[in-house]
Chains A and B, each alone.
Chain A
Amino acid sequence: MSNLKPYERAEFINESTPWHQLTDGLQIYEPATSRQFHTGEWRTNTPVWNTEKCKQCLLCVPYCPDSSIPVVDEKRQDFDLDHCKGCGICAKACPFSAITMKEGK
């Protein structure tokens, strides 16, 4: 990574970057850059977490296909809506009906 030219770093690549400053084949030379790319923008349904019903069993966490349920100290946190696509799998997986889906973002 140390040999990268400044414009080859993902944080400097954006929709204003001219063609000759994009990397060859649009390759990305750093890990975990998807954090910077908010793919939750096209969500049409949104999960809602009911903390009173939730028993913190964490079953929803491995079911989430987009790693959008963060866990801190063995406790799930609220949804990462920057990356959640609203697929509803977590709501189906929850044994305690602690997740419901609402229409829209």
Chain B
Amino acid sequence: MSGNEAVAHAIKQINPDVMPAFPITPSTEIPQFVAGMIANGEIDTEFIPVESEHSSMSAAIGSSAAGARTLTATSSCGLAFMWEVLYVAASNRLPIAMAVVNRGLTGPLNINAEHSDSMGARDSGWLQIYAENNQEVYDNFLQAYRIAEHPDVKLPIMICQDGFITSHAVENITLWDDATMKKFVGEYEPDHYLLNADEPMAVGPYAASNYCMEAKKAQTEAMKRAKKVILDVAKEFEELTGQSYGFFEGYRLDDAEYAVVAIGSVCGTAKDAVDQMRARGLRAGLLKIRVFRPFPAEEIAAALKDCRAVAIMDRSEGYNAVGGPLGAEVTAALYRAKSHAEVINIMYGLSGRDVRVEDIEQLFDNLVKLGDGEQVYDETCPYLGLRE
């Protein structure tokens, strides 16, 4: 099934309470499939058609505060239109799940895979988990509420996949048993909720400057605590399914001297390139980031500690004139860990630009030169596959 169908199947197995949503390519199919399941009587989720993404996230906030297990789905400009209220969801500590089908922000106007939408929301206080393929986005969505609703966390979560490349491409995946997943996800029982007549409450009160810093510190500590919860939930999921998940996947990384760090569907291509380079005798490896928020900085630096050269691949322009967000954060992690690796940030795949195995093989060839101290690039973040 397609990645969108996989997410919809996870939603069917979870049977959440409320889904406000507004269609936008390439995520439109997700609310469409859910609406079909509701019409067929397969689930009893309350679907709220709204007039915009600002409204879908606002309705999700109201629903979650009321005590309902809530979700929505969006892409690109739809996510950007939620901007203001994303922060409201996170600061009110509401465990909303959102299926994000990554697509570039306009402009130029384009509908294809890019990470500028969710990367733009990287500081909004939402957890972010990314997938390489359809199986992963299905499995990640099944784990979403267990992480978001955990008493140590209570934060909203984005489950991200690459637009069209996984959302629409069809792959064989393994679906888990309904009853097992229903038991794994469990019921949502919040301590405090607006519809509790026995406890009138206020959500999102005005906070003067003598309260805001303390609230933000508490929120960032919840993000730190999410690390343990993410690993605990992954372990439990593995016991049920055999699927193993962590903060990231190291592919032939243990003894690697040259590594590529990337997020999302490009990692499938990168694995082929790693195999090709290994066949040629190069100790090549891949670090595929699954969890971007919270950012597992120390763990990433530890996994890359023996590398001579590292290429950090961004599918989102930072327009800061030095590179992209993943490049900045991984480089900072390596600096704090006193890494001696040569680092290059690579901009690739913008607006759905194809990446071939040969492109990444060539990148590994350049990493070898970089590791030998050669001046390979004349800028901090060269573009891969650019016409020059």
A89 at the interface (CB under 8 A from B): no
Do residues A29 and B199 form an inter-chain contact, with CB atoms below 8 A?
yes
Q: What chain B residues lie within 8 Å of A1 (beta carbons)?
A: 198-199
Distance in Å from the Cβ of A82 to the closest Cβ of chain B?
A: 17
Do residues B207 and A26 form an inter-chain contact, with CB atoms below 8 A?
yes
Q: What chain A residues lie within 8 Å of B222 (beta carbons)?
A: 24
| Further 18 A-B residue pairs, CB within 8 A, beyond A27-B93, A30-B200, A30-B201 | A15-B211, A18-B214, A20-B218, A22-B215, A22-B218, A24-B222, A25-B92, A25-B93, A26-B207, A26-B211, A27-B201, A27-B202, A27-B203, A29-B192, A29-B199, A29-B201, A31-B200, A33-B202
Do residues B202 and A28 form an inter-chain contact, with CB atoms below 8 A?
yes
Which residue on B lies nearest to A30, using beta carbons?
B200
B205 at the interface (CB under 8 A from A): yes
B154 at the interface (CB under 8 A from A): yes
Task: Give the distance in Å from the alpha carbon of A60 to the alpha carbon of B158 in the complex.
Answer: 50
Number of interface residues of B (CB under 8 A): 25
The A-B contact count (CB < 8 A) is 52
Do residues B214 and A19 form an inter-chain contact, with CB atoms below 8 A?
yes
Q: What chain B residues lie within 8 Å of A20 (beta carbons)?
A: 218, 221
Q: What chain A residues lie within 8 Å of B204 (beta carbons)?
A: 25-26
Q: What chain A residues lie within 8 Å of B92 (beta carbons)?
A: 25, 27
B320 at the interface (CB under 8 A from A): no
A17 at the interface (CB under 8 A from B): yes
B345 at the interface (CB under 8 A from A): no
B375 at the interface (CB under 8 A from A): no
Do residues B205 and A26 form an inter-chain contact, with CB atoms below 8 A?
yes
Task: Give the distance in Å from the alpha carbon of A100 to the alpha carbon of B146 in the complex.
Answer: 59
B210 at the interface (CB under 8 A from A): yes
B91 at the interface (CB under 8 A from A): yes
Q: Which residue of B203, B213, B217, B221 contacts A25 across the interface (Cβ within 8 Å)?
A: B203
Q: What chain A residues lie within 8 Å of B192 (beta carbons)?
A: 27, 29
Task: Give the distance in Å from the alpha carbon of A28 to the alpha carbon of B210 in the complex.
Answer: 16
Chain B: residues with CB nearer than 8 A to chain A?
91-94, 154, 191-192, 198-205, 207, 210-211, 213-215, 217-218, 221-222
Q: What chain A residues lie within 8 Å of B221 (beta carbons)?
A: 19-20
Do residues B211 and A22 form an inter-chain contact, with CB atoms below 8 A?
yes
Task: Give the distance in Å from the alpha carbon of A78 to the alpha carbon of B192 in the complex.
Answer: 38
Which residue on B lies nearest to A28, using beta carbons?
B202
Quick one: given A24-B93, A25-B91, A27-B192, are A17 and B214 in contact (CB under 8 Å)? yes
Q: What chain B residues lie within 8 Å of A17 (beta carbons)?
A: 214
Task: Give the distance in Å from the alpha carbon of A20 to the alpha carbon of B214 in the complex.
Answer: 8
Q: Which residue of B154, B191, B198, B215 contacts A26 across the interface (Cβ within 8 Å)?
A: B215
Which residue on A lies nearest to B215, using beta carbons?
A26
Distance in Å from the Cβ of A14 to the closest Cβ of chain B?
A: 9
Task: Give the distance in Å from the alpha carbon of A25 to the alpha carbon of B198 in the complex.
Answer: 20
Some 19 contacts from A to B, beta carbons below 8 A apart, are A17-B214, A19-B217, A20-B221, A24-B93, A24-B154, A25-B91, A25-B93, A26-B207, A27-B92, A27-B93, A27-B201, A27-B205, A28-B201, A28-B202, A28-B205, A29-B192, A29-B199, A30-B201, A31-B200
Distance in Å from the Cβ of A19 to the closest Cβ of chain B?
A: 4
Distance in Å from the Cβ of B122 to the closest Cβ of chain A?
A: 20
Distance in Å from the Cβ of A8 to the closest Cβ of chain B?
A: 9
Distance in Å from the Cβ of A39 to the closest Cβ of chain B?
A: 10
Q: What chain B residues lie within 8 Å of A30 (beta carbons)?
A: 200-201
Distance in Å from the Cβ of A27 to the closest Cβ of chain B?
A: 6
Q: Render A20-54 as a binary contact track against B, CB cut-off 8 A, 1 for contact.
A: 10101111111101000000000000000000000
Q: What chain B residues lie within 8 Å of A3 (beta carbons)?
A: 191
Q: Which residue of A15, A19, A29, A31 contacts B218 across the interface (Cβ within 8 Å)?
A: A19
Distance in Å from the Cβ of A5 to the closest Cβ of chain B?
A: 11
Task: Give the distance in Å from the alpha carbon of A19 to the alpha carbon of B211 in the complex.
Answer: 8
